[in-house]
Structure 1
Amino acid sequence: MATLSKKSFIDECKVQFDVDESSIIYLMCERLNIDETAFYMTINEPIDENIAMQIKEDLMMIEDAYPIQYVLGYAYFYGDRYIVNKDVLIPRFDTELLVDWVLTEHSNESKQIVDVGTGSGIIAIQLKRERPLFNVTATDISNQALDVASANASHYDVAIDFKHANGLEGVPSFDILISNPPYIMHDEIDVMTESTIKYEPDLALFAEDNGLSIYRMILTQACRENKHQFICYFEFGYKQQDLLTELFNQFDRVTGYEFRKDLQGHDRMAKVYVKAR
């Protein structure tokens, strides 16, 4: 391969691959480990041939809708890199708002936190990084997901008690529960992206009962096992606020709840207050 400038390489890739220019530039920045400012300042300089070959291999996968985060092996959350692969969901920026909600309402003091359906571990790890005195437990039904979460926790040198469990199995008591569980209804598949449908794990995406089955399971387990007062923070689908309101009202120990909006202005987060038994 003849050595090309970065600009010429972009032009060549646009001809060879059905991938938008922004994805090409993003990949180049990531593979070159530079930010966009440095990229544009050096756009007329040659690109390393080995890196160029790697980027073309990446683009072949992306052309088949393979998520760019899985291609790279990492995704960003709170501006930091977290390992991701096909066994875990790719972090979404809206989930940062859920973590922010907890952080703004709870200072750094000893509290028992449980993250249900931790996936890559981003929620549990970020909470522990920001609030070192939190005692954080994280559960997931997938051993493969827990392997990813454990690797992320090791990378950031935080102590999380990871448990292979369905919901809250083996977690009898906590002060704060946080969860971004599977909640997509099966009839919503038409509005999902091709890359999500083809490559992200179904186990972490879909739920029965109009997407409510995991919330119902979590609250049932929590109200049965945890006799103390606690608070739940949930992320949910943009069509589910009314359905969740009905669900929350079915639990005698739930004393109230409130909702917050995502970056697009949709109600996508819930805080649920549960009284002591």
Structure 2
Amino acid sequence: MVNSNTYFEVLKWASSFLEKNNIETYVAEYLLLEKKQWTKTELLLHFKEEMPKEEQHQFKKDLEKISHHIPVQYIIGSCEFYGRRFLVNEQTLIPRPETEELVDLILKENSDSEKKVVDIGTGTGIIAISLKADKPNWQVTGLDISKEALEVAKANSKELNVSVSFLESDILSGLDSLEKIDILVSNPPYISYDEWEEMDVSVREFEPKQALFAEDEGLAIYKKIANEAREHLSETGKIYLEIGYLQGNAVSTIFQKSFPNKEISVVKDMNGQDRIIKVI
């Protein structure tokens, strides 16, 4: 594999290998740190130590998978989100930093008092679990149409010892018609099928398409949420939605029609892009 077996030399080789395969080189270090559960400081302290042969062999196998565009998070089997570690697999989307901003906004804008919270398209359960972990008085339910994704969400809830209810449901159809929601949140599929070619190969080939793409130029799920939420949102209820950076005006219009008496606003992410729609 390499002439020297130190962590430094193995990592140097790995970065070169990824570069030749047009993969960003930082992934090699990220993989090693995650596998070893080391900080960067700990890695520096071990740089001159030999990496065991079995470890080298597995590291190379993992890099081969990455060179074929399998996301590193699926290889590791977990990733960090809002200060907690969540299980992920190919049945679930890999959490993005922008979704942390969605969680943060909801937590900052709402009190600790008891609330009924529903997360549509919960996937790994990251939003629902993160909200419940920080607001124990909230009654949080995660909904998803995918049985496989719900199994991952339930495993995360158990692993993190956070009590969240999970229910198989297409949008809000699985809820009791009398159930009223105080906070409705969703990071739904919002990518247009026209954008297929623009997506990263690893996303196109390995992340679940059902959780990424939507009909009607990516707006189909927002329209369903806006329609079904009218029956379930409490009088003072709020809606928080993650959106694509070009969808601010379109999604605002959809929800203004469904909720003419509520205030609709667009919140930008850390990069200055439209990212969240608020209905309050």
TM range (shorter): over 0.9
Letter in 1 for 2:231: R
Q: Is the 8 A contact 1:140 1:146 kept in 2?
A: yes
Return the offset for 1:3.
6.9
For the Cα contact (< 8 Å) 2:168–2:174, is it kept in 1? Answer: no
- SS of residue in 1 equivalent to 2:191: coil
Sequence identity, in percent?
Answer: 37
Distance in structure 2 (CA, Å) of the matches to 1:184 and 1:239: 10
1:178 Cα deviation from its structure 2 partner: 0.5
Name the CA distance, whole Å, in 2 between partners of 1:55 and 1:254.
56
Return structure 1 stretches of 4+ with deviation > 4 angstroms.
14-17
Moved more, 111-120 or 218-227: 218-227
Q: Does 1:131 align with 2:132?
A: no
1:167 is aligned to: 171
Structure 1 pair 221–52 and aligned structure 2 pair: CA distance change class (3 A): same
How many residues are treated as equivalent by the alignment? 273
2:27 corresponds in structure 1 to 23
Q: Where does 1:1-277 land on structure 2 (aligned, <5 Å)?
A: 4-14=5-15, 16-17=17-18, 18=21, 19-171=23-175, 172-226=179-233, 228-273=235-280
Cα distance, 1:29–1:227 mapped onto 2, change above 3 Å:
closer
**Corresponding residue SS for 1:269:** strand
Cα deviation code 1:130-166 (max 9, x no counterpart): 0000000110000000000000000111111100000
Using the TM superposition, give the Cα deviation of residue 11 of structure 1 relative to its aligned residue in structure 2, in angstroms. 3.2
TM-score after normalising by structure 2? 0.92
SS at match of 1:228: strand
Pair 202,153 (structure 1): closer, same or farther in 2 beyond 3 Å: same
Measured on the aligned residues, the alpha-carbon RMSD in Å equals 1.7
Q: What amino acid does structure 1 have at the position aligned with 2:184?
A: L
Which is worse superposed, 157-166 or 15-24?
Answer: 15-24
C-alpha contact 1:183 1:205 (8 A) present in aligned 2 = yes
Counterpart-to-counterpart distance in 2, 1:260 and 1:225:
24
Q: Name the stretch that deviates more: 26-35 or 118-127.
A: 26-35
Which runs of 5 or more residues in structure 2 are unaligned?
none
Moved more, 251-260 or 139-148: 251-260
